[in-house]
Amino acid sequence: MNNYHYDLFVIGAGSGGMRAARLSAAYGAKVAIAEERYLGGTCVNVGCVPKKLLVYASRFAEEFEIAAGFGWSAKETAFRWPRLIENKNAEIGRLNGVYRKILDDNGVETLIGRATLVDDHTIRINGEDVTARYILIATGGWPRVPAFPGKEHVITSNEAFFLDELPERMIIVGGGYIAVEFAGIFHGLGVDTTLLYRGPLFLRGFDHEVRNILAEEMQKKGVKLEFNTNIERIEKNNAGFTVFLDNGETRVTGLVMYATGRRPNTSNIGLDKTNVKLNDKGAIIINNTYQSSTPSIYAIGDVTDRMNLTPVAIAEGIAFAKTVFGRHAVTVDYEYVPTCIFSQPSLGAVGLTEERARERYGEIDIYKSRFRPLKLSLTASTEKTFMKLVVDRKSGKVVGAHMIGEDAGEIIQGIAIAIKAGATKATFDTTIGIHPTAAEEFVTMRAPA
């Protein structure tokens, strides 16, 4: 190890890279981490954290309406986008400082600048070359916008967090969780919002019934959904932009946001100077210990395009450090990883969809419930909560849980523990519910659908 400047050099100070760096240092390794943009990566700066803050902000208009049913009278309400962005930026700045302190306190050397590979053990940063026994690439992903006439006029989720002002109307293109979440955010903040998706239904990979119900609930709130539709070109005009669709129609809008996927951040970081292999999407190919085709180079997180979730990247960072420096081989269990789409209403899920469960087990039982939550009983709202359990009939184990409704993520997190522990439907049935809550419905569904 003494022949190298560092035992470990991490490229990318996002959630996964930072966790790998600090834990490796705790094992006694000499560690440096390089970041060219912002500490904390996408999640902290232009992802999970600021997005959730915007979700909170966008829900208040509806909460004011609900409050009227409970006797409250909000005489005047006004929203100031610049104030929200100012406060959001201050909080993100605070978190950047917290992350820097965490690295410093753990003895990790933080280098600000673009790091590129020179060879299997050498990294160039700020004009200097340094060497490391191991290199960990944790550079994450970056928004991808397809090529088409007028591409230069669109924004991505990165820019959405820093708009000077909100438009009156906007179009969001995409069918993934980012597109769906921002459709709810901007609609909730008073923007006339249309979501375009080229496929027949958004959120591919999630339970089909759940996807349909979420689309229904979003439309109830006023979000315009246009499926099987795509943009051919965009032209700038005095009112904003004219959008030409592939069905021959046009739309005039003030802003177009593309959320059509993210690509692994592997371009121009020197991988061509090594034997690191990429797949057809540009993601680094790794084995089950996160090692690339070059033995000294590892990769974790979104840059591997396996399961692109912040907690997964953190778990991979921990597994890497324990395996390489803790000398205790650890791999991440990707079965029953819970997730939440912070749509409005939110969607939480863990385990198998009904479709996947039928493929794996053949005979399954489905339990589901759709109801108007107590909170809305004194209002004119027609929003309904939906819950669904997927059960392997032979073993009785619950292999999937899905929910649409308020606090879906908070509720599914607890359900995920039970499912990962191997809980059966009988376990759910004998668990006493907390009344009155929406969550109790998960332990009171008795008859298969």
Report how far Cα 288 is from the mean position of its chain's Cα atoms: 23
Q: Dihedral through CA 13, CA 15, CA 19, CA 22, nearest 10?
A: 40
Supply the mean pLDDT for the chain.
Answer: 97
Q: What is the CATH number of domain 339-443?
A: 3.30.390.30
CATH architecture for segment(s) 6-142+263-324: 3-Layer(bba) Sandwich (3.50)
* Domain definitions of the chain by residue range: 6-142+263-324, 151-260, 339-443
Nearest-angstrom CA–CA distance, 68 and 342: 25
Q: How confident is the model over 341-400, as pLDDT tens digits?
A: 999 999 999 999 999 999 999 999 999 999 999 999 999 999 999 999 999 999 999 999
Nearest-angstrom CA–CA distance, 402 and 357: 13
Query: CA nearest 314: which of 36, 125, 98, 48?
Result: 48
Average pLDDT value for residue range 292-320: 97
Q: pLDDT at residue 22 above 70?
A: yes
Q: How confident is the model over 227-273, as pLDDT tens digits?
A: 999 999 999 998 899 999 999 999 999 999 999 999 999 999 999 99
Q: How confident is the model over 134-165, as pLDDT tens digits?
A: 999 999 999 999 999 999 999 999 999 999 99
Nearest-angstrom CA–CA distance, 26 and 280: 36
Asked if 15 and 39 touch (Cβ cutoff 8 Å), the reply is no
Nearest-angstrom CA–CA distance, 431 and 419: 14
| Omega of the bond leading into 436 within 30 degrees of 0 (cis) | yes
Tell me, what's the pLDDT at 1? 46
Nearest-angstrom CA–CA distance, 36 and 199: 36
pTM for this prediction: 0.96
Tell me, what's the pLDDT at 75? 83
Tell me, what's the pLDDT at 40? 95
Average pLDDT value for residue range 423-449: 97
CATH architecture for segment(s) 151-260: 3-Layer(bba) Sandwich (3.50)
Nearest-angstrom CA–CA distance, 278 and 299: 11
Q: pLDDT at residue 313 above 60?
A: yes
Q: How confident is the model over 59-110, as pLDDT tens digits?
A: 999 999 999 999 999 888 999 999 999 999 999 999 999 999 999 999 999 9
Asked if 20 and 146 touch (Cβ cutoff 8 Å), the reply is no
Nearest-angstrom CA–CA distance, 41 and 28: 25
Q: Given this chain, do its domains 6-142+263-324 and 151-260 carry the same CATH topology?
A: yes
At 277, is the secondary structure helix, strand, or coil? coil
148's CB contacts (< 8 A; 6+ apart) are: 231, 232, 233, 234
Q: Give CA separation, 136 vs 269, 291, 294, 299, 311, in Å.
A: 12, 9, 11, 5, 18
Tell me, what's the pLDDT at 2? 65
**DSSP classification of residue 340:** E
Q: Which residues are catalytic?
A: 435
Q: How confident is the model over 177-229, as pLDDT tens digits?
A: 999 999 999 999 999 999 999 999 999 999 999 999 999 999 999 999 999 99
Strand partners, 195: 172, 225
Nearest-angstrom CA–CA distance, 230 and 211: 20
